[in-house]
């Protein structure tokens, strides 16, 4: 995958110009592993750290966000089929505390979503804890919408449980969807 370059700059009224770093989004390399594990340790509760760490080497792709040759975050992407549909998932998203609130997560989500749509996904899913307001805001800003169980049931029927397994759904999480046509604004239960 070619590097995707994002440049961000903002000015706050009455304050100094604050320049946000230039981010390059690229596929991870073996040399990134220690930094990714550090980011996982700083970003996830203990229970999820094990799964996030072990997923780095599993099927799928890991995109990293880099500024000045320092990895600031990552997104783990997976592709899967349910029935005759082809789908993608932003399985894990984490940003080092020093890179938060600088659009690193949004850059990763948008690049990952575009990558998965480019690989012919009909829709891209993500899930996050209900209380993770930063993650929810990032996904919503990137075009994702909440989809409840009934919305998923209408789309997948009994295959909804296969979907839950593919996106590593954990009880208490919110499922988010971004479809190609971006038709889904919000599907209420």
- pLDDT score recorded for residue 185: 44
**What average pLDDT does range 165-175 have in this prediction?**
86
Query: Within 13 Å and on the Cβ side, how many CA atoms surround 175?
Result: 27
What are phi and psi for residue 64, nearest 5 degrees?
Answer: -120, 150
- pLDDT score recorded for residue 20: 61
Domain boundary assignment for the chain: 4-179
**What average pLDDT does range 165-171 have in this prediction?**
85
- Tell me the CATH number for domain 4-179: 3.40.630.30
Q: Which residues pair with 77 in a beta bridge?
A: 61, 90
pTM (2 d.p.): 0.80
Sign of CA dihedral 162, 184, 23, 119: positive
Q: Do residues 141 and 111 lie in contact, with contact meaning Cβ atoms separated by under 8 Å?
A: no
Confidence of residue 132 (pLDDT cuts 50, 70, 90): confident
**What average pLDDT does range 63-79 have in this prediction?**
87
Confidence of residue 21 (pLDDT cuts 50, 70, 90): low
DSSP string, 157-181: GGGHHHHHHHTT--TTEEEEEEETT
- pLDDT score recorded for residue 97: 86
- For the stretch 92-119, pLDDT in tens is 998 888 888 888 889 999 999 999 999 9
């Amino acid at each position: 995958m070619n590097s995707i370059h994002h440049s961000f700059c903002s000015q706050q009224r009455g304050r100094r110009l604050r320049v946000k770093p230039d981010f390059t989004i690229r596929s991870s390399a073996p040399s990134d592993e220690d930094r990714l594990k550090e980011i996982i340790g700083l970003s996830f509760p203990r229970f999820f750290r094990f799964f996030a760490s072990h997923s780095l080497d599993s099927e799928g792709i890991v995109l990293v966000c880099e500024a000045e040759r320092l990895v600031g975050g990552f997104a783990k992407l997976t592709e899967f089929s349910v029935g005759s549909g082809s789908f993608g998932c932003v399985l894990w998203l984490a940003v080092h505390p020093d890179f938060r609130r600088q659009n690193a997560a949004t850059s990763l989500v948008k690049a990952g979503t575009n990558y998965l749509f480019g690989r012919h996904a009909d829709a891209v899913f993500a899930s996050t804890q209900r209380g993770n307001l930063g993650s929810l805001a990032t996904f919503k800003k990137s075009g994702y919408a909440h989809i409840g169980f009934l919305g998923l049931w209408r789309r997948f029927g009994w295959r909804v449980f296969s979907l839950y397994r593919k996106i590593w759904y954990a009880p208490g999480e919110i499922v988010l969807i971004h479809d190609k046509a971006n038709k889904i604004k919000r599907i209420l239960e």
